[in-house]
Each structure stands twice: as C-alpha cells, then as structure tokens.
Amino acid sequence: MRLATWNVNSIRSRVDRATALLDRHDIDVLALQETKCRDDQFPFEQFEAAGYEVAHIGLNQWNGVAIVSRVGLDDVEVAFPDQPGFDKNAGDSLLDSPVVESRAIGATCGGVRVWSLYVPNGRSLGDPHYAYKLEWLSTLRADAARWLTEDPSAQIALVGDWNIAPTDDDVWDPKLFEGKTHTSAPERAAFQAMLDTGFRDVMRPFAPGPGVYTYWDYTQLRFPRKEGMRIDFVLASPALADRTKDALVDREERKGKGASDHAPVIAEFTD
C-alpha cells in the first residue's frame, strides 16, 4: 500500500494537483486536510473518475478532512471518540458543549485503519485555541493507546497536519519560534506522548537530520530559502510501522504557481 497525506489548503483550488499526485506516485490512499469546503462543494467527481472513493467532512470554508482510496473505504467514522470541540464565537472560553470541528475522519482502507487529522493550530500560547489544541491531542492519545491495548496487532495510520515541530531539527530556526506555538514544550510533550503509546514516525528512518520540511510559509521567500518546518506526519501503529518500505516528502509539489504551502508525505508499506 502506498499512503499519502497532504494539507491541500483548499481542494477546490488544487483538485487537479491532487489527482495528478495520485497518478504520479501511484497512490492507493490519500488523506487530505484543510479542504476548506462543505461536503456539497467537494469535487467528488474528479476522484471518482480516477477510480477512487472519497469520504469527506467539511462544515464550512475552514478546516475539512478527507480520505481518498482505491483499495476500499469501509467503516467511515467522523471524529474520534470524545473529540473536543471549539466554538470560535465563544469568546475567551471553551464551551461545555462545544462545536466539534471537521478535523478528523477515519476509514478502513485495504486492511489499514486510516485517520486523516488536522490538529488545531493553537494560534498563540495564551489563546484559548492553544488549550483546545492540547486537549484535542490528549484525547486522541488516549484513544490511540486504547486501540493498541485492545489489539496490539492493529494496522492503524494516524496521518495529517499535526501543527507541531517535535524537535529543533524540524524547524529551520528554533530561536525564531521561542515563545510561540508549534515548538512549545507542552506541544512537543503531547507529540512525544503519542509516540510513547507505540505509534512511530515512519519517515524519520528514511530522512534523518535537519532540513527535512513539509511546510513553508508563503511569505518572505521561505520556500526558496529552505526555511520550513516539518509538521506533517504519518504515525503508524507498531504492526504497520514494521511493514514500512519507504517514506518521503514530495518537495516538488510545493513548487510552481498555485501550490499549497504544505508538501505531501508519502509512505509505502509492504503487503
């Protein structure tokens, strides 16, 4: 199985790029984040014409996640159990009954349980969205740990835009991000807690060291200056991680007019 994850930053603007990516890399399953459209606006037809099924959840012009698969799309689940929510109209506090945003969708594809995840950004360390981000990650970690406890041989991929650079090697200038989100100690601890459950970052063995990024801001010529961050990941359960044959970042997809500010991460697993 060849699995890719990509924060597409508007699927309606980049559907041609997405279908070309499927063909270029012979992708079996593609997880998308930031589709930025409602379900009725999603370009299902283009993917279906290419031989893929699609599961998507999008509530408005923000967020939105999808799974595109040609190896089956079963047991679709919108949101992981007890997924926290956030209401941007709630002012400075989270609601007791918050709005669950379109940030997680799961489906079984070719025997692998794939979750397309768009982790909250956090905005700033003092923002309620930051507390929401940490709560969101904590709940996901608890669910992921339970899935492995219930079935240590489970084939699970937690993929997407995690909005965390877990080490200093994952950001071009660590000092620039001091006191900001994405590199704070609580965020990095939350990411490490996910790894401590047994899930593995499958790309690192194939691309060690600094300079391997998946995101470059549109401003200040960040991409040509190689000033990026690694915040998009394929985290695989132990049984699935043991099947990893290769993993890479398609940096070429960040080039050219109309590119997303993220590049796809692609992992290949043996049968």
The annotation status of 227 as a binding-site residue, yes or no, is no
- Residues 8, 161: Cα–Cα separation, whole Å: 10
**Does residue 34 have a known ligand-binding role?**
yes
- Residue 63 annotated in ligand binding: no
261 is in an annotated binding site: yes
Instruction: Output helix, strand, coil percentages for the chain, rounded to the nearest 5.
Output: 30, 25, 45
Q: Which residues are catalytic?
A: 118, 161, 262
Q: Residue 31 has which token pair?
A: 């997880």
Residue 75, annotated as binding a ligand? no
Could you tell me which of 14, 233, 262 has the C-alpha nearest to residue 116? Answer: 233
Helix (H) or strand (E) holding 115: strand 112-118
CA gap 205, 148 in Å, rounded: 22
56 is in an annotated binding site: no
What do you get for the CA distance between the two ends of the chain, in Å? 7
Q: What is the spatial distance between Cα 73 and Cα 81, in angstroms, rounded to a whole number?
A: 19
Q: Could you give the strand order of the β-sheet that contains 200-201, starting from the edge strand earlier in sequence?
A: 74-78, 104-109, 112-118, 156-161, 232-236, 200-201
- Angle between helix 128-150 and 185-196 (nearest 10): 10
Binding-site residues: 7, 34, 161, 163, 261-262
Binding-site residues for Mg(2+): 7, 34, 161, 163, 261-262
